[in-house]
Amino acid sequence: MKHQQIRGLVQIADNGSIRAAARNMGISQSALTRTMRELEIDLGAELFQRSYRGVSFTFAGEALLRRARLVLETLESARDEIKQIAGGRGGRVRVGLTPVTMVSFFPSIYRQFTQALPDASLSLKEGLLTGIIPDLLEGRLDFGVAIAASTQLPSELSFTPMVAIRSCVAGREAHPVAHSHDWPTLLQQRWVLNLSQGSSSNLFLTWLTQQNLPRPAHIVECSSPFLMLEMMRRTDLIGYGPARLFDDPLCGNAVQTFDISPQPGDVTVGIIRLRGTPLTPTAQVLETLFRRELAHL
């Protein structure tokens, strides 16, 4: 399998057609078509379904595409690492962070990182576990720091637990039921919850079922943690999430945690990496800073 074949496969996926991919690669459409046909012959499988509408990927093509993206990203990381070893300036690191990580831990880590490597290029992606996992598998992130458990991850990824995080119920300051100790009363209120897979809110709903309690009667689904906070600040909507997010003086301004008990147990923040893939020197520096910071919490 040749580099040009792998690159062509990814370009077709990214550009939507062979014609657009060939134009982006600076080669003729017939040359790219021939390259892809040679790849199919080499693998003994059809990678595309061809029709008058263009091309789409077969199951075999989709499987190869996931690996092809990882190959290209790994090669790019290798080039970056060689440049650093050879004395080139800078370096690049891409990391995925959940909101509680961004608010609670990252500012201090960022200051230490820029002092250690002032010329490094840093790319941050905010998201929950469902967004971080595919980017790790396809090599678009060097590592992630997120709320997770090993059982939630595919076998290709490793999880190093670092610190326990308390999650809780919260709402605006002076909320009329802020001091209620009755779950049925709270669950009759209107809630705003992030129902993405792996979110704190989903873990909360699972816990309610285990406690033989009903789901909230009214739920506004919200995939953005910061939009959720704004709705909690400005309305009577009740939310659920990491206490560190609500207790932060800036992020949790005008939001208070509720005294209701019992509540679900702690969740774990840790470092997620692709197994068998070494970090570049720049990424290793940042990961080490995360480990040191989280170990002291």
Residue 105, strand partner residues: none
Q: What percent of the chain has pLDDT over 70?
A: 97
Determine the residue type at 186.
Answer: L
Query: Which tens digit of pLDDT belongs to each residue from 38-94?
Result: 888 889 888 988 777 778 899 999 889 988 888 888 787 777 767 665 544 568 899
DSSP annotation of 238 reads B
DSSP annotation of 253 reads T
Mean pLDDT of 228-248: 95
**The pLDDT value given to residue 81:** 67
**The pLDDT value given to residue 90:** 64
Per-range mean pLDDT, top range of 133-137, 148-152, 218-222: 218-222
What angle (nearest 5°) sits at the alpha carbon of residue 184, between those of residues 178 and 185? Answer: 40
d(C-alpha 132, C-alpha 157), whole Å: 11
Query: 92-97 and 190-193: which strand pairing?
Result: unpaired
DSSP annotation of 152 reads G
Query: Which tens digit of pLDDT belongs to each residue from 87-113?
Result: 445 688 999 998 888 888 899 999 999
- Specify whether the CB–CB gap between 190 and 238 falls below 8 A: yes
What angle (nearest 5°) sits at the alpha carbon of residue 78, between those of residues 3 and 148? Answer: 105
- Specify whether the CB–CB gap between 96 and 136 falls below 8 A: yes
pTM over the 0.75 mark: no
Cα 50 to chain centroid distance, Å, stands at: 33
Cα 153 to chain centroid distance, Å, stands at: 12
Query: 167-172 and 239-242: which strand pairing?
Result: antiparallel
Determine the residue type at 187.
Answer: L
The pair of structure tokens assigned to 121 is 């290029």
**The pLDDT value given to residue 130:** 81
- Domains in the chain with CATH codes: 3-71 (1.10.10.10), 89-160+270-295 (3.40.190.10), 167-265 (3.40.190.10)
Distance separating the N- and C-terminal Cα atoms of the chain: 47
Distances (CA, A) of 196 to 27, 221, 264: 42, 9, 18
d(C-alpha 116, C-alpha 178), whole Å: 45
Does residue 291 surpass a pLDDT of 80?
A: yes
Mean pLDDT of the chain: 88
**Res. 141 pLDDT band, cuts 50 70 90:** very high
Per-range mean pLDDT, top range of 89-93, 131-135, 148-152, 250-254: 250-254
Residue 240: CB partners within 8 Å, gap ≥ 6? 167, 168, 169, 170, 191, 193, 200, 201, 204
Does residue 234 surpass a pLDDT of 70?
A: yes
d(C-alpha 134, C-alpha 75), whole Å: 18
The pair of structure tokens assigned to 135 is 């980017």
**The pLDDT value given to residue 88:** 47
Residue 28: CB partners within 8 Å, gap ≥ 6? 22
